[in-house]
Amino acid sequence: MVTMVMLIAAVALAFYMLREAFADRVMTETFVFPDFPSSFGDVTIFFITDIHRRKVSASIIEHAKGLADIVLIGGDLAEKGVHFSRVEENIKKLKEIAPVYFVWGNNDYELDPHEMDALLLSLGVKILDNTAVKFESAAGDAFALLGVDDLTAGRCQLEYALEDAGNVPFRILACHNPGISSSIEEGSGIRLILSGHTHGGQIRIFNYGPYEKGGLKEAGPVSCFVSNGYGTTLIPLRLGAKAETHLITLKHG
């Protein structure tokens, strides 16, 4: 009898962890900065990271349509064993929301990076590879979105992205690995980092996991927002770090 109860409990837990891993959530975040140019009004980013093997759900696309100004993929769009047709399908869905920007993650390099690069460019994705893109309001104010290559592989060249941002004072940095926060110096103009990579620990036992749960972290002169991510790695299970995507609104205040 005890064995049967334990078996039922194990099956129930596994089912629950599977549901956590394949959740389709769009979380709403609002970040207010006194130095964000007021002439932009509100700017909203649909942020999705660590897709890995998942198919992006149509429900997420419908939720975000008409609400986001840009889409930012924070790395690990795919991993070894994922066919490029899956990547193409996911990108085409995300493009229904808004123009798409992408930074490389460590698992993306498990596919042929030249083929990945060519595919993304053919689909109109802007790859932020140690570069920056500037957005300008009708009043002539600007902010910059910087993106750096994979940190763990030694491909990150933050200085190039900073240089590419020119004299734009308000800057957002996209980096797959939140470890970049230790490299940000005061005076860089970077006010917010958007990252993933950690999966929020993916499986947390009594709220303990190999990494911190996602959320907003203060890292010296800059705020770092880390997502739990949309997909999983190694096993398609989560516990205490439910899958998520985000609508992040930036505003002056």
Which residue ranges make up each domain of the chain?
2-252
Mean pLDDT of 155-159: 96
CA-to-CA separations, 229 to 23, 40, 169, in angstroms, rounded: 11, 28, 29
Mean pLDDT of 109-119: 97
Listed as own residue / partner, the contacts of 77-81 with beta carbons closer than 8 Å and 24 or more positions apart are 77/51, 77/102, 77/105, 77/108, 77/116, 78/51, 78/52, 78/53, 78/107, 78/108, 78/110, 78/111, 78/116, 79/52, 79/53, 79/107, 79/108, 79/110, 79/111, 79/233, 80/107, 80/110, 80/111, 81/53
Q: List pLDDT tens digits, range 51-89.
A: 999 999 999 999 999 999 999 999 999 999 999 999 999
Distance (Å, whole) CA 118 – CA 126: 11
Sheet of 70-73, strands arranged across: 26-33, 245-252, 43-48, 70-73, 100-102, 126-127
As beta bridge partners, residue 92 has none
Query: For position 217, what pLDDT does the model report?
Result: 87
Non-local (6+) Cβ contacts of 205 within 8 A are 239, 240
Mean pLDDT of 100-114: 97
- Mean pLDDT score of the chain, rounded to an integer? 95
Distance (Å, whole) CA 29 – CA 195: 14
Q: How many helices (H) and strands (E) does the chain have?
A: 5, 12
Non-local (6+) Cβ contacts of 37 within 8 A are 137, 139, 141, 142, 143, 170, 252
Query: For position 148, what pLDDT does the model report?
Result: 98
Per-residue buried b or exposed e for 69-84, using 16+ beta carbons within 10 Å of the residue's own CB: bbbbbbbbbbbeebee
Using CB atoms within 10 Å of the CB of residue 201, give its burial: 0 to 12 exposed, 13 to 18 middle, 19+ buried.
buried
Domain range 2-252, CATH class: alpha beta
Model confidence at 214: pLDDT above 70: yes
Assign 5 a pLDDT band (cuts: 50, 70, 90). low
Model confidence at 206: pLDDT above 90: no
